[in-house]
Amino acid sequence: MKYVFGPVPSRRLGQSLGIDPVPLKTCNWNCVYCQLGRTRPLTNEREDFLPVEEIIDQVKEALDAHKPGEIDWVTFVGSGETTLHASLGVMIRRVKMLTKIPVAVITNGSLLYLPEVRQELVGADAVLPTLDAGDAMLYRRINRPHPAITFNRIIDGLISFREQYQGKLWIEVMLIKDLNDTEVELKRIAWKLARIHPDEVHILLPDRPPSEPWVRPTDEEGLLRAQAILGDIARVIHPAAGTFDLSGSESLVDAIVGIITRHPMRESELVETLKQFSPEDVVVTLKRLEESGKAQVIKRYGIRFWSAMPAFYPTNGTDLGG
Any domain includes 307: no
Any domain includes 315: no
pTM exceeding 0.85: yes
Domain containing 25 — which CATH number? 3.20.20.70
**pLDDT tens-place string over residues 128-154:** 999 999 999 999 999 999 999 999 999
Q: Around Cβ 166, how many Cβ atoms within 10 Å? A: 7
Q: Is the pLDDT of residue 242 over 70?
A: no
Domain that holds residue 218: 4-236
Any domain includes 201: yes
Question: What percentage of the chain reaches a pLDDT higher than 90?
Answer: 74
Q: Is the pLDDT of residue 164 over 90?
A: yes
- Predicted local distance difference test score (pLDDT) of residue 250: 72
Any domain includes 268: no
- Predicted local distance difference test score (pLDDT) of residue 1: 81
Any domain includes 207: yes
Phi and psi of 245, rounded to 5°? -85, 120
Task: Give the count of domains, the chain.
Answer: 1
Q: How far apart are CA 85 and CA 88, in angstroms?
A: 6
Polymer length of the chain: 322
Average of per-residue pLDDT across 242-259: 80
Burial of residue 216 (CB within 10 Å: 0-12, 13-18, 19+) is middle
Q: How far apart are CA 295 and CA 260, in angstroms?
A: 8
Q: Is the pLDDT of residue 245 over 80?
A: no
Q: How far apart are CA 174 and CA 156, in angstroms?
A: 20
Any domain includes 95: yes
Q: How far apart are CA 259 and CA 44, in angstroms?
A: 25
Q: How far is CA 174 from the centre of its chain?
A: 11
